[in-house]
């Protein structure tokens, strides 16, 4: 007899899905930090003690009514339909992180909305509110309590219901290794978010939970950016990297990876194309493909306002009618459609044939960062490759290889550089939905980006080396 195919019970499905999102405590910390950043916090505290973790922030808070839904699977305040997914600027959008935490641990949330009279607290298990952390039943209501403005999320007793994973995490050695991973996540976000004046604190189990392993909240340069941001509350979308912001990032790098390192850092700034223009075109092309409602609404406006000369210039389309047709969907941008094949004169101004036919696929990127020079081999503890794509901490073995290979000619064998890179790419060219923990992302034009970054790094360290030689010679 062949075995019968039976649907799994919903609880088992939830547990399997949660296990994928929440692979380990450091994955929770990343999700919670990203939630705090989405809530526009300027100060984020992380406390990790083995399988209990807590993250507190001073962000916008969650109001009493919404608190009930915080751990409901696929409930989110960040997108409302699939189209929003294309333009999502927040880290979260799936409404899965807190739900998953509550499937594999006991979650407690205390939150006070800015300006509210008091905080409210609620506990959760298996995606639903419960009366206390042990999950004893009864009427469940958010309880008023004392608390500072912002949100504190505790996840306790992690993997209490997944014994095999719990065993793999228990014990002094495993806990220490896991704490190292958590600290690495906090350090990286502390470096990157310094440019927006966000300060971090990280404490482990040492000295009864009082040992602080990282605190960037009191650094002068970070505070300065934070103050500035309070005065002009427009820096959220601002992508420029001004002197104060560079100073803050440098100070945090010094604080985390050692002061010596900061003296060896070179600024990198490179780019090609107009990231937002390409993003806009890509968005519209996708919306058109999906025949989305939002595109229908945009039909009126996209010809005169958004599709301006500059955006067309940026993606190398100079024929307005062609571009308009593409955007209006009256002409398909597919390669097989002869009517959109650019004329000779357009061809010369576009990057390559395929981007000419589909300007939304044009290559565009902007990179800013700080990298060590070609002769400084960093101590092992400071060797690092910090990569942020559209502000998200990600890993990309191919980008890392491309950048580090530039150093391999000059650094002694086994020597490593320190590299912090923040890349801005057209939103629709980055697919963050390929990995359950959103750690890895799929990139359109990955090879080209590797080449462009390698060239940018070569140029920065090359010109620094030649100016040094020049100084010595002079």
Out of 26, 36, 355, 377, point to the residue binding ligand ADP (CB under 6 A).
Answer: 36
- The CB-of-157 to Mg ion minimum distance in angstroms stands at 21
**What residues are paired with 55 via a beta bridge?**
46, 153
Q: Which tokens is 178 given?
A: 């896991």
- Interface positions, 229-258, toward ligand ADP (CB under 6 A): none
Q: Which tokens is 329 given?
A: 């969907």
- The CB-of-77 to ligand ADP minimum distance in angstroms stands at 3
CB of 96 or CB of 251, closer to ligand ADP? 96
CB of 99 or CB of 350, closer to ligand ADP? 99
Out of 25, 95, 127, 436, point to the residue binding ligand ADP (CB under 6 A).
Answer: 95
97 is an interface residue for Mg ion by CB under 5 A:
yes
- Cβ atoms of 55 and 27 within 8 Å: the answer is no
- The CB-of-35 to Mg ion minimum distance in angstroms stands at 4
Nearest-angstrom CA–CA distance, 104 and 155: 9
Report the candidate in 148, 112, 137, 127 with the shortest Cα–Cα distance to residue 18: 127
Nearest-angstrom CA–CA distance, 231 and 417: 37
- Cβ atoms of 281 and 317 within 8 Å: the answer is no
**Residue 385 dihedral angles phi and psi, to the nearest 5°:** -130, 100
Nearest-angstrom CA–CA distance, 93 and 95: 6
- Interface positions, 63-92, toward ligand ADP (CB under 6 A): 70, 76-78, 92
- The CB-of-206 to ligand ADP minimum distance in angstroms stands at 25
35 is an interface residue for ligand ADP by CB under 6 A:
yes
Out of 18, 27, 29, 59, point to the residue binding ligand ADP (CB under 6 A).
Answer: 59
120 is an interface residue for ligand ADP by CB under 6 A:
no
Out of 93, 124, 189, 420, point to the residue binding ligand ADP (CB under 6 A).
Answer: 93
CA 231 to chain centroid, in Å, comes to 25
307 binds, among ligand ADP, Mg ion, none (CB under 5 to 8 A by kind): none
| Candidate ranges 89-97, 233-241, 296-304, 321-329; the one touching Mg ion (CB under 5 A) | 89-97
| Candidate ranges 92-100, 143-151, 220-228, 238-246; the one touching Mg ion (CB under 5 A) | 92-100
123 is an interface residue for ligand ADP by CB under 6 A:
no
428 binds, among Mg ion, ligand ADP, none (CB under 5 to 8 A by kind): none
Contacts for 319 with CB less than 8 Å, ≥ 6 apart: 342, 343, 346
Nearest-angstrom CA–CA distance, 239 and 306: 20
57 binds, among ligand ADP, Mg ion, none (CB under 5 to 8 A by kind): ligand ADP
Nearest-angstrom CA–CA distance, 242 and 238: 10
417 is an interface residue for Mg ion by CB under 5 A:
no
- Cβ atoms of 115 and 97 within 8 Å: the answer is no
Number of H helices, E strands in the chain: 19, 16
SS3 annotation, 265-331 = EEEEEEEECCHHHHHHHHHHHHHHHCCCHHHHHHHHHHHHHHCCHHHHHHCCCCCHHHHHHHHHCCC
Q: How many residues does the chain have?
A: 474
Out of 97, 103, 278, 370, point to the residue binding ligand ADP (CB under 6 A).
Answer: 97
Out of 21, 29, 33, 39, point to the residue binding ligand ADP (CB under 6 A).
Answer: 39
Binding mask 16-35 for Mg ion (x = CB under 5 A): -------------------x
70 binds, among Mg ion, ligand ADP, none (CB under 5 to 8 A by kind): ligand ADP
CA distances from 438 to 91, 96, 165 (A): 9, 12, 21
CB of 122 or CB of 323, closer to ligand ADP? 122
- Interface positions, 124-163, toward ligand ADP (CB under 6 A): 151
Q: Which residues bind Mg ion (CB under 5 A)?
A: 35, 92, 97
Q: Which residues bind ligand ADP (CB under 6 A)?
A: 31, 35-36, 39, 57, 59-62, 70, 76-78, 92-99, 151
């Amino acid at each position: 007899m062949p075995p019968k195919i039976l649907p799994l019970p919903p609880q088992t499905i939830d547990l399997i899905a949660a296990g994928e999102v929440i692979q380990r405590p450091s994955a929770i910390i990343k999700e919670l930090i990203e939630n705090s950043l989405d809530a526009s916090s300027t100060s984020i505290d992380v406390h990790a003690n083995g399988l209990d973790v807590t993250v507190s922030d001073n962000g916008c808070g969650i109001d009493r009514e919404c608190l009930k839904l915080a751990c409901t699977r696929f409930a989110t305040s960040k997108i409302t339909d699939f189209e929003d997914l294309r333009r999502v600027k927040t880290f979260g959008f799936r409404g899965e992180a807190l739900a998953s935490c509550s499937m594999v641990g006991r979650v407690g949330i205390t939150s006070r909305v800015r300006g509210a009279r008091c905080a409210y607290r609620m506990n959760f298990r298996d995606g639903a509110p419960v009366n206390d952390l042990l999950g004893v039943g009864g009427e469940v209501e958010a309880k008023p309590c004392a608390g500072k403005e912002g949100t504190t999320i505790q996840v306790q007793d992690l993997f209490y219901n997944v014994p095999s994973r719990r065993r793999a995490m228990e014990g002094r050695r495993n806990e220490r290794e896991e704490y190292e991973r958590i600290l690495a996540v906090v350090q990286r976000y502390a470096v990157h978010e310094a440019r927006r004046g966000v300060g971090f604190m990280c404490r482990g189990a040492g000295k009864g939970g009082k040992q602080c392993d990282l605190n960037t909240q009191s650094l002068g340069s970070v505070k300065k950016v934070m103050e500035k941001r309070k005065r002009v509350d427009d820096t959220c979308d601002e992508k420029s990297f001004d002197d104060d912001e560079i100073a803050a990032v440098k100070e945090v790098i010094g604080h985390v990876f050692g002061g010596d390192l900061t003296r060896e850092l070179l600024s990198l700034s490179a780019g090609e194309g107009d990231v937002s223009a390409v993003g806009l075109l890509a968005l519209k092309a996708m919306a058109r493909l999906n025949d989305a409602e939002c595109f229908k609404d945009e039909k009126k406006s996209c010809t005169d306002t958004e599709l301006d000369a500059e955006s067309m210039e940026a993606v190398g389309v100079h024929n307005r009618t062609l571009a308009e047709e593409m955007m209006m969907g009256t002409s398909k941008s597919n390669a097989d459609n002869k009517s959109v094949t650019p004329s000779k004169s357009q061809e010369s101004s576009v990057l390559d044939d395929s981007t000419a036919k589909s300007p939304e696929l044009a290559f565009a990127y902007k990179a800013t960062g700080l990298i060590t020079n070609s002769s400084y081999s960093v101590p092992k503890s400071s060797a690092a490759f910090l990569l942020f794509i559209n502000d998200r901490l990600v890993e990309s073995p191919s980008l890392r290889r491309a950048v580090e290979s530039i150093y391999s000619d000059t650094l002694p064998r086994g020597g490593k550089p320190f590299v912090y890179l923040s890349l801005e790419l057209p939103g629709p060219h980055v697919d963050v939905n390929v990995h359950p923990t959103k750690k890895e992302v799929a990139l359109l034009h990955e090879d080209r980006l590797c080449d462009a970054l390698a060239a940018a790094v070569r140029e920065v360290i090359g010109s620094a080396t030649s100016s040094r030689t020049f100084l010595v010679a002079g």
